[in-house]
Amino acid sequence: MKFAARHRDADAAVVYAHVRMGSRNGRPDRNGWIAHRYGTASTARKHDEVEWALTDPGKPISNSKWRSFAWSLPEEVERTFGTEGGWFYKRLLRIRLRGPISITPIQLLE
């Protein structure tokens, strides 16, 4: 996923990715949410069994209040759900936005 965003309230603005995951242990596929928040450092934190929260500072765009973001969902699943049970990314199911955020069109890259 690649896009630019302007967070009017960084604590309230979230970009969610709802993903389908497969198991390396033979378990049935499952879905999970990865909540992307703006933060000054890159971190990963488990919220509950179906959601992880990642923070990302993004890259500043010139002298504007906009920042660019590029996320590899396969890498993010490995970094989050993959650490508990060997889950791997299969596909993106949906994107959800919450809070005061302005966003450019999202590019989905293979």
Q: Is the dihedral of CA 84, 13, 66, 106 positive or negative?
A: positive
pLDDT value at residue 64: 85
pLDDT tens string, the chain, 110 residues long: the values are: 999 998 888 778 999 999 999 999 889 999 999 999 988 888 899 999 999 999 988 898 988 888 999 999 999 999 999 998 889 999 999 999 999 999 999 998 87
Which residues face 33 on adjacent strands? 18, 51
Could you identify the residue written with the tokens 């000054």? Answer: 40
Structure tokens, 79: 């970094």
What residue type is 95 in one-letter code?
Answer: I
pLDDT value at residue 95: 95
Q: What is the pTM of this model?
A: 0.89
CA distance 43 to 62: 24
Strands 30-38 and 51-56: parallel
Structure tokens, 55: 């923070």
Phi, psi (degrees; rounded to nearest 5) at 109? -105, 140
**Are 53 and 78 spatial neighbours (Cβ–Cβ below 8 Å)?**
no
pLDDT value at residue 84: 87
pLDDT value at residue 16: 95
CA count, 13 A, side-chain hemisphere, 48: 3
